[in-house]
């Protein structure tokens, strides 16, 4: 095989890989895996055995919600991500059917685990309806600067924080309140930063269609400073964990993840025209290696 043929085969592989990742990212598979990883991370940090049914339910519910959201025509999406929008616009019925089955499966799994778990997971639906569609006499949360970030991030954080306790005893127990508060804060800040970074990426389409996100209202430079401040509070979080003698075996990995956050905040606020998939990989995708490393440390801790 000559050099030219090798180059051609390499290019073919790169194109093939990009197409696969585009489908994984655009079809919400990546963000759904992230949802499961968040829940698994919470289980481990709480010291509670992970429930496989709930991990699958979290994946299925996230997959359903995000695909429903992407089948709704949004003007800003046509500007921000025309390829993804065309993918859903041309196959809307198929995505709705897939999303419906995924939603039913998630609710069935949740109900199997208990009524409290079912109601907790079902409550997410109202949040996303308010976010993408809105209620009568109430504007879409997506159109209220800052509010949509807080509401979405809270739903992404509260559910994985309380589900481990609910799965173990059926109720929230006082003995786990401190752990839950610490876990909630870490996940909340990380997802809040990531959520606003996605708004930075979408600033062009949001500006053109009148969606007033924080980057549109405050400007990217000011938002960068805010995100760096948010991320800096997690250094104090590490110190508090050390002082309280919790998560000690996981602190090196969690600390590395925090400093990784500083890097991608600067990177994506200075390079807002980067390819969309890069943000998906480096930001949404960060939870996968983080959780797997935490899980590995946890397993090694059991064996020693």
DSSP lists the bridge partners of residue 138 as 135
* Record: fold of 3-303: Farnesyl Diphosphate Synthase (1.10.600)
Question: What six digits make up the tokens of 3?
Answer: 């050099």
Looking at residue 30, its pLDDT comes to 84
Instruction: Please list, in sequence order, all residues whose beta carbon lies within 8 angstroms of the beta carbon of residue 211, skipping any fewer than 6 positions away.
Output: 76, 142, 143, 205
- The pTM for the full model equals 0.82
Looking at residue 25, its pLDDT comes to 61
Looking at residue 173, its pLDDT comes to 52
Determine the Cα–Cα distance for residues 283 and 89; give it in Å rounded to an integer.
26
Q: How far is CA 105 from CA 99, 111, 222, in A?
A: 10, 10, 42
Closest CA to 26 of 75, 76, 91: 91
CB contact at 8 A, 132 and 142? yes
Looking at residue 143, its pLDDT comes to 63
Closest CA to 157 of 104, 115, 113, 195: 195
Q: How far apart are the first and last CA of the chain?
A: 50
Looking at residue 158, its pLDDT comes to 86
Question: What six digits make up the tokens of 14?
Answer: 């790169």
Looking at residue 74, its pLDDT comes to 56
CB contact at 8 A, 66 and 25? no
pLDDT in tens, the chain (304 residues): 555 444 444 545 556 656 666 666 666 788 889 999 999 999 999 988 899 999 999 999 988 887 777 666 555 555 555 556 555 556 677 777 888 899 899 999 999 888 888 888 888 777 776 665 555 556 666 666 666 677 778 877 888 888 888 877 655 555 568 888 999 999 999 999 998 998 888 777 777 766 777 888 888 899 999 999 999 999 999 999 999 999 999 999 999 999 999 999 999 888 766 666 778 888 888 999 999 999 999 988 776 5
Question: Coil, strand or helix: which one is 135?
Answer: strand
């Amino acid at each position: 095989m000559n050099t030219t043929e090798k180059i051609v085969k390499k290019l073919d592989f790169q194109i093939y890989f990009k197409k696969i990742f585009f489908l994984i990212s655009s079809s919400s598979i990546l963000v759904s895996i992230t949802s499961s990883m968040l829940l698994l991370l919470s289980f481990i940090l709480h010291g509670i055995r992970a429930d496989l049914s709930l991990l699958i339910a979290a994946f299925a519910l996230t997959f359903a919600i995000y695909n429903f959201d992407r089948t709704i025509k949004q003007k800003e999406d046509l500007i921000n991500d025309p390829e993804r929008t065309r993918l859903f616009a041309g196959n809307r019925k198929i995505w709705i059917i897939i999303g419906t089955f995924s939603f039913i499966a998630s609710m069935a799994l949740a109900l199997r685990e208990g009524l409290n778990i079912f109601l907790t997971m079902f409550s997410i639906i109202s949040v996303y309806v308010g976010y993408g569609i809105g209620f009568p006499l109430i504007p879409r949360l997506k159109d209220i600067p800052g509010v949509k970030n807080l509401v979405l991030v809270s739903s992404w954080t509260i559910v994985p924080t309380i589900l481990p306790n609910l799965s173990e005893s059926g109720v929230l127990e006082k003995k786990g309140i401190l752990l839950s508060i610490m876990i909630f804060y870490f996940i909340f800040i990380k997802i809040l930063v990531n959520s606003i970074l996605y708004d930075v990426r979408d600033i062009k389409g949001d500006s053109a269609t009148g969606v007033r996100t924080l980057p549109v209202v405050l400007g990217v430079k000011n938002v960068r400073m805010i995100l760096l401040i948010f991320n800096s509070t997690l250094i104090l979080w590490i110190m508090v964990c050390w002082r309280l003698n919790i998560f000690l075996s996981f602190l090196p990995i969690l600390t590395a993840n925090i400093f990784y956050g500083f890097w991608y905040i600067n990177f994506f606020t200075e390079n807002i025209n980067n390819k969309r998939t890069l943000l998906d990989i480096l930001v949404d995708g960060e939870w996968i290696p983080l959780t797997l490393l935490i899980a590995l440390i946890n397993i090694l801790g059991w064996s020693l």
